[in-house]
Structures are given as C-alpha cells and as structure tokens.
Amino acid sequence: MDRLSFNSNSEFYCGLDIAYEFVGTYIKERIGDADIKGVRILVVSDRNVGGYFYSGFEKQFLDLGVRPELTIVDSGNMYKNLDAVGEVVRSFVDFGFASGDWVIAFGGGGVLDITGFACSVYNSDLNLICVPTTMNAMVEGSVNESCLVNAGSHKNVLSSPVSIKAVFADPFFLRTVPDKVRSNGYAAVIRYSVLADPGLMLRINEEEELRIFLEDVYKARDKVEKLNPVLLTLGNEIADAIEGYFRFMNYSEGEALALSIYAAVPRSMREKLNEIYEKLGLPYSLTGVSGKMIMKNLSENLKRIHKDDISIVDLETGGKSWIVRHVPLSEALDILEKRIGVICAD
C-alpha cells in the first residue's frame, strides 16, 4: 500500500486489496485507546457494489470485533438527489450516529456525492472515508471539495462542502467493472490531460501501475487548480445539458463529458482524440437529438444561474493555452453553440 503525495487535505492510499485489508485498521489506529467495538460505523453503497463486494469488505471489521451498519442507495445520476441523501441521513438518525462516528462511502461517484452531502448537512461531525470503485470516482469524486446532487433533470445544482478523512483507491475494482463504466471514468482524465498534461491521455488503458498513473493524474489536476479552479469546469455546460435533456439515461456522465471536451478542443486535437475515443468506446458525435434542442436546454440552464456575465473556459487567441473568459452571457452562448455544432447536426 502506498500513500499518494499531492495537494489534498485528505489522506490518499492506493494498492491492490487495500479496501479489504486496511480500512478497518485505519479507523482502529485513529480512535486511539478507545474500544473499536464501541465505535459506530456505517457503510453506504449501491446494490451492485454492495451485492458483489460487501461481505468481503465487511470481514475486516468483523475480525476487529465490530459489525458495521449498511445502507444501500440506488446508483446512477438519475438517483443522485435529495431523496437519496435523505435515506442516508435517516440511517444516521436511526442508528444513533454522533460526532466521532465513521461513515464509509463504498461505490462510484454518485455514492460518494450522496454520502458526502449527507455528512455535510448532518448536525454532527462525522468522519468520512471514501472507497471509490470506479475510475471516475477515484479521479473526480474523491478529490472534490464539494459534494453535488441533482434536482429533477438539472445536474449538480445543489452543492455542499465536504471534508474527507481518507481515500482508499483499490485497483481490484477497476478490473471488475464493465468496459463501458471503466471507459466513462477516463473522460475526467482526458480533461486533465487537455488542460495540463497531454501525455496522460496516451497512457490510458496501458499496462501501468495504477499508483503511478493516479499520482500523475492528481498532479495534473493540482496544476490546473493552482492556475485557476474554474478551468476544471471545461466542458461542464454542454455535458450537463446533454445529460439533463436525456434525463441521465441515454448518455452517461463520462460520455457526455467526452463529447463536450471533443467539441471544445481545436480541430488538430480532435484528430488525436479520435483514436483514443475509438479505443475507449467513447462517442464523438451526439445522436438522438438535434443541436437546437441541446442548445435550448443549455441556454435555459445558464440563464437560470447567470443573469449577466459568465465565466467560460476557452482557448486563448492563438490556441496554445486554456484561459477563463469573463464574457456576457450572450457571447458565451455563441461560443457554446459553435461547439455543439461540432458534435451534433441541427
């Protein structure tokens, strides 16, 4: 097991089988002289991860003499809402959770967001651990400083700051997820690569130790964040409009983001992305909807949030580096309409 070194307030660990062997030990070491049998632990997971992996995950705690509680939430962006948050909060209340108790988010990005949001609004200081089981959860959900949930077909409109004690990234789970889920997770890596480290995307799906790859991914993200955190929103506007239009059903989060990034980069980079997208099975054209309908949804989203000016990530003149432009909303919509034209016919 290795501890990854990068700019984060959380402790990050990476290694094969650490999810099954070290999470319980981590908690035991941090409660000091207290009897771990008296500590409350809640695991929040989804039906797939919980069904396949919970018994093995739970064993480490049983060996320490404590039986965690388990709450199952539905997975997928369509279920990442306040109803799911309420289910987790209800578990806190039903099981008598109070300050100092431990909550473990065990699953993909949706599980991490729902669990983190619930911890942030609960009236006690709970210790949150994340055990991400998808690439997207490892490189996005577990490093965000805020948890985001949806309202209806509107993506990530509710936000709450979150404090994560530790993250355990276990390569074992990446070997078990379907190819589509694995590929979707690489969309965030492609965004970091486009913004800061073009070499990252060339290493996707290569035989490489996950610890080395993840550490370089996190460093690329840190590099961008230090320049301007808004840069990390590249592609969000169109991606959110795509997901919302289809009510989170036709295109996954990763597919929508991949499309939006493809639309934003210059023509010369699209040629490079074609090969990578083909290899990963990611789309670079949007089907089942006209560009005008996506633009209508996008425009409504932005007008609901912004009245006048808006910050949009765009290439500087000359196309050598990405910058944040502060422009009138009408100008931003013109930029985004041109991007939509790259991936979708009218």
CATH code for the domain of 337? 1.20.1090.10
The residue among 174, 190, 205 that closes a domain is: 174
pLDDT for residue 145: 86
Checking if the pLDDT of 7 tops 70, the result is: no
Reference 186, options 137, 133, 144; nearest CA is: 137
Q: Are residues 234 and 330 in the same domain?
A: yes
Q: Are residues 209 and 86 in the same domain?
A: no
Checking if the pLDDT of 1 tops 70, the result is: no
- pLDDT band at 33; cut points 50, 70, 90: confident
Checking if the pLDDT of 11 tops 80, the result is: yes
pLDDT for residue 177: 83
Q: Write the CA distances from 151 to 81, 148, 155, integer angstroms.
A: 6, 10, 7
Collect all residues with Cβ–Cβ distance below 8 Å to 204 and sequence separation of at least 6: 186, 189, 190, 276, 279, 280
Residue 145 backbone phi and psi in degrees, to 5: -90, 0
pLDDT for residue 183: 84
Q: Are residues 7 and 156 in the same domain?
A: yes
Q: Are residues 125 and 198 in the same domain?
A: no
Range of lowest pLDDT (26-35, 56-65, 93-102, 292-301): 26-35
pLDDT tens sequence across 319-336:
789 999 999 999 999 999
For residues 204 and 26, which has the higher predicted lDDT (pLDDT)?
A: 26
Q: Are residues 12 and 127 in the same domain?
A: yes
Q: Are residues 169 and 190 in the same domain?
A: no
Q: Are residues 283 and 320 in the same domain?
A: yes
Q: How many domains, the chain?
A: 2
pLDDT for residue 207: 66
pLDDT for residue 248: 87
The rounded distance, in Å, linking the Cα atoms of 252 and 202 is 22
The rounded distance, in Å, linking the Cα atoms of 333 and 27 is 49
pLDDT tens sequence across 177-224:
887 788 888 999 999 999 999 999 988 877 678 888 888 998 999 899
> CATH number for the domain including 103?
3.40.50.1970
- pLDDT band at 35; cut points 50, 70, 90: confident
The residue among 119, 152, 174 that closes a domain is: 174
The whole domain housing 138 covers 2-174
What one-character-per-residue DSSP string does 198-237 give? THHHHTTTSS--HHHHHHHHHHHHHHHHHH-GGGGGTTHH
pLDDT for residue 164: 95
Checking if the pLDDT of 78 tops 90, the result is: no
The rounded distance, in Å, linking the Cα atoms of 79 and 189 is 24
pLDDT tens sequence across 228-283:
999 999 999 999 999 999 988 899 999 999 999 999 999 999 989 999 999 999 99
Q: Are residues 57 and 183 in the same domain?
A: no
Q: What is the mean pLDDT of residues 47-54?
A: 94
Residue with tokens 């809402």: 81
Q: Are residues 47 and 150 in the same domain?
A: yes
Q: Are residues 68 and 184 in the same domain?
A: no
Q: Are residues 103 and 10 in the same domain?
A: yes
Would you call 144 helix, strand, or coil by DSSP? Answer: coil
The rounded distance, in Å, linking the Cα atoms of 320 and 309 is 25
The residue among 108, 142, 174 that closes a domain is: 174
- pLDDT band at 112; cut points 50, 70, 90: very high
The rounded distance, in Å, linking the Cα atoms of 315 and 219 is 22
Q: Are residues 233 and 116 in the same domain?
A: no
pLDDT, the chain, mean: 91
